[in-house]
């Protein structure tokens, strides 16, 4: 019989970590109570302080490692454990991949009823310096004038100021080192809340600033940013209170992936791992070829261009107007065989009747809407290739597709986010037995 905790233990508890679960925490059991503890490794024993009691478990924070696991290493970042951006820097990279593979398999089984016993192909990344996009939070400094720049603290919405980040591609790492001291020392708009930076392999920067309200002289802010960061290709200022925007520059950069070029705007989604961008389109599309393919949640067309090499006709659907403009531009070189549609995926599928040979799904973290899954079940394409950044919503959606006559042919793990608990999974499905 399972024991429900009624009060927090007053003293620290000794816990043996059984495994890591999605979210970056370790699971342990003691005295019939389930504990979740961050910053631990599978198999090690820790002394932990109970912090928060819930109905069926207790969250605790680690105080000391009593018996370290074989895979534990020294984190290279001085902010690890304080900053909420990373969860696995204390694990050797090979162990991170093993943990993510096990979490993916268990999540598919537990939440989706997908009992996949076959191999899960793992595609690693360089473990550091991989991010081509960063979101830096900005808050008034606790003492003195100026602003502080960093990330949210682990488990908190308060700021952890940083002057370095091991995950960033070199152009972003240099931008961080330039922005931090300038924001602290100079008089910037106090309404500034966030700077998002996107970098091309050649080092060109797109900067998107979020403020409560736009400053009276946005040109002055942009001028100072260009002085600090000469590689800046464009700046977009976004005022939250009235949804006003001020754009300086073309509004996009050109990102080169192998021999292909993609226009990417300030507000367009693009994969963040610069090392996996080149192999990703071929991995998603695979060897499938035919007459018609649908690329749903197409973004700026990273997969659409690959599909156009294998299919007579490709229709790419993207709901976001900014990304759809980039998508249409990027498909121009593919000619008449591709078509970009700026539409909600549900609305598009409800009006679509031709049966495609392949459907590629790359939805946001929330997964595929139920109405879209129902429409896909009606169309019954022979193949669906589903790329997901959230194993829980992936499992939910797979449960529905399996009930509609699909079976899992292949599962792959792409480590788009080393040092974090986040993972990308590719599942290939075929219709019928």
Tens digits of pLDDT across the chain (433 residues): 454 556 788 899 999 999 999 999 999 999 899 999 999 999 999 999 999 998 899 999 999 999 999 999 999 999 999 999 999 999 999 999 999 999 999 999 999 999 999 999 999 999 999 999 999 999 998 777 799 999 999 989 999 999 999 999 999 999 999 999 999 987 898 899 999 999 999 999 999 999 999 998 999 999 999 999 999 999 999 999 988 999 999 999 999 999 999 999 999 999 999 999 999 999 999 999 999 999 999 999 999 999 999 999 999 999 999 999 999 999 987 677 899 999 999 999 999 999 999 999 999 999 999 999 999 999 999 999 999 999 999 999 999 999 999 999 999 999 999 999 999 999 999 998 6
Say yes or no: 352 and 216 in one domain: no
d(CA 230, CA 207): 12
In a domain, 87, yes or no: no
Say yes or no: 171 and 151 in one domain: yes
In a domain, 90, yes or no: no
In a domain, 196, yes or no: yes
**Residue 218: domain span:** 133-253
CB atoms within 10 A of CB 212: 13
Say yes or no: 244 and 307 in one domain: no
**Beta strand residue intervals within 200-331, DSSP E:** 205-211, 232-239, 244-248, 252-257, 260-265, 290-296, 311-318
Phi-psi region for residue 250, left (φ > 0), alpha (ψ -120 to 50) or beta? alpha
CB-side exposure of 200: number of CA atoms within 13 Å?
22
Q: Does the annotation count 389 as an active-site position?
A: yes
Among candidates 170, 163, 232, 224, which has minimal Cα distance to 196?
232
- Beta strands 290-296 and 311-318, pairing class: parallel
Q: Please list, in sequence order, all residues whose beta carbon lies within 8 angstroms of the beta carbon of residue 253, skipping any fewer than 6 positions away.
A: 198, 200, 204, 205, 206, 233, 234, 263, 264
d(CA 65, CA 380): 52
In a domain, 258, yes or no: no
- Domain of 222, CATH number, reads 2.40.50.1070
- Domain of 56, CATH number, reads 2.40.50.140
CB atoms within 10 A of CB 186: 12
Say yes or no: 290 and 423 in one domain: yes
């Amino acid at each position: 019989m399972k024991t429900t905790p009624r009060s927090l233990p007053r003293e620290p508890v000794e816990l043996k970590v059984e495994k890591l679960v999605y979210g970056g925490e370790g699971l342990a059991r003691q005295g019939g109570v389930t504990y979740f503890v961050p910053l631990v490794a599978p198999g090690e024993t820790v002394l932990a302080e109970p912090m928060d009691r819930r109905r069926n478990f207790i969250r605790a924070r680690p105080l000391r490692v009593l018996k370290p696991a074989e895979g534990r290493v020294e984190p290279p970042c001085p902010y690890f454990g304080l900053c909420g951006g990373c969860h696995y820097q204390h694990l050797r990279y090979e162990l991170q991949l093993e943990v993510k593979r096990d979490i993916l398999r268990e999540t598919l089984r537990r939440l989706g009823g997908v009992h996949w016993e076959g191999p899960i192909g793992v595609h690693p990344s360089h473990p550091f310096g991989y991010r081509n996009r960063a979101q830096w939070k900005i808050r008034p400094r606790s003492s003195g004038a100026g602003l502080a720049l960093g990330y949210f603290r682990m488990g908190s919405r308060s700021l952890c100021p940083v002057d370095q980040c091991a995950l960033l591609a070199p152009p972003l790492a240099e931008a961080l080192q330039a922005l931090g001291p300038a924001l602290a020392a100079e008089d910037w708009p106090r309404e500034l809340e966030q700077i998002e930076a996107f970098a091309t392999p050649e080092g060109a920067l797109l900067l998107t600033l979020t403020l409560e309200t736009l400053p009276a002289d946005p040109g002055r802010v942009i001028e100072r940013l260009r002085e600090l960061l000469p590689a800046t290709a464009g700046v977009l200022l976004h005022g939250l209170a009235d949804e006003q925007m001020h754009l300086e520059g073309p509004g996009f950069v050109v990102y080169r992936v192998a021999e292909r070029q993609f226009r990417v705007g300030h507000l367009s989604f693009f994969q963040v791992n610069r090392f996996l961008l080149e192999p990703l389109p071929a991995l998603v599309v695979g060897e499938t070829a035919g007459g018609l393919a649908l690329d749903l949640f197409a973004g700026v067309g990273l997969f659409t261009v690959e599909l156009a090499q294998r299919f007579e006709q490709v229709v790419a659907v993207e709901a976001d107007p900014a990304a759809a403009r980039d998508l249409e531009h990027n498909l121009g070189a593919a000619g008449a065989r591709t078509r970009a549609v700026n539409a909600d995926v549900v609305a598009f599928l409800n009006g679509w009747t031709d049966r495609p040979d392949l459907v590629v799904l790359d939805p946001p973290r929330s997964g595929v809407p139920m109405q879209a899954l129902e429409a896909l079940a009606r169309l019954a394409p022979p193949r669906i290739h589903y790329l997901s950044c959230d194993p829980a919503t992936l499992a939910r959606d797979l449960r529905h597709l399996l009930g509609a006559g699909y079976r899992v042919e292949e599962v792959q793990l792409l480590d788009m986010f080393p040092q974090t608990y986040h993972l990308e999974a590719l599942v290939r499905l075929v219709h019928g037995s």
